[in-house]
A = this chain, B = another copy of it.
Amino acid sequence: MSRLDSFIRRLEAQRACLDQAARLIGELDGDVLELGLGNGRTYDHLRQLFPDRKIYVCERRIAAHPDCVPPAELLMLGDMRDTLQKARELLEGRVALAHLDPATGDVAASRALAAEVAPLIVPLLRPGGVLVSEPAIAWQGLSAMALPGGLAPGRYNLYRFVSCQSSA
């Protein structure tokens, strides 16, 4: 399998998971949170899936197609380890779908970032909300779901947030 093959497979899995997530949260109010804008392709897909929801975007530096730049009031510029903490007051318990795909090209770095930001993302989710992520994330309250369309487990990752009785 070439890098071209695996890239196509990854994009197809990403799209299938986002489309599935849209079905899963069809009846659930709430915002969308895109963690990483990149060139804006996935943001554009989210915009089409969710024309009536606010889509907040965390990004370090804008490098997207000009027509894929979110409105300023929905953009959280900076390191997401900082901006997600600041976003908590605004977004706690309000996010119906979050999508995390650091796509650093460095598997270890992506995993490390995901482990760092998972505890910042989960409190933003509504009960019943969905987290779509690559890489995989293990965190209290996140329940892994089967992928759509016969995708092999782990190709991408789809979680439902099941509200926990907090021990805090």
Chain A residues at the B interface, C-beta cutoff of 8 Å:
2-5, 7-8, 11-12, 14-15, 39-42, 44-45, 47-48, 65, 68, 105
Contacts and interface: CB of A to CB of B under 8 A. Distances in A.
Nearest to A67: B3
21 contacts: A2-B41, A2-B44, A2-B47, A2-B48, A3-B39, A3-B44, A3-B45, A3-B65, A3-B68, A4-B11, A4-B14, A4-B42, A4-B44, A4-B45, A5-B45, A7-B41, A8-B8, A8-B11, A8-B12, A8-B15, A65-B105
Contacts of A5: 15, 45
Identical subunits present: 2
A67 to B, nearest CB: 9
6 A-B pairs with least C-beta separation? A2-B45, A4-B45, A3-B44, A3-B41, A4-B41, A2-B44
Nearest to A6: B41
